[in-house]
Amino acid sequence: MRNRQFVLSETEVNELKCAFHNCEEGQTKIRYQAVRLYGQGHPVNEIESICGCSRSSLMEWCRAYRQDGIAGLVDKRQGGNHRQDGASFRSR
């Protein structure tokens, strides 16, 4: 078994806790929690169960956090119908 390279400092743990409590977006909150738990040494199968995520998603979120910090975990998906734009909308 490999030793985990991803370990969070106390400051990073507190930053993720604060971001979690101040966030209103559900998917982003899950990412904050999952990365914090992983960085604190919790087993991956436990994190998958708690957060409802896959191992690959968890590893991607950890990479994004290392690369971009808290901003890397923000859900960037846009809702709505991306195929419909205002110019092509026909009124009846």
Instruction: Kindly write down the DSSP assignment for every residue of 2-65, as one continuous string.
Output: PPP-----HHHHHHHHHHHHH---HHHHHHHHHHHHHHTT--HHHHHHHH---HHHHHHHHHHH
Name the residue ranges covered by the structural domains of the chain.
10-73
- What's the confidence (pLDDT) of residue 92? 53
Flag whether pLDDT at 67 surpasses 70.
yes
pLDDT digits (tens, 9 = 90+) for 24-54: 999 999 999 999 999 999 999 999 999 999 9
Which residues, at least 6 apart from 43, have a Cβ–Cβ distance to it below 8 Å? Answer: none
- Give the chain's radius of gyration (CA, Å): 17
Between residues 2 and 19, the one the model is more confident about: 19
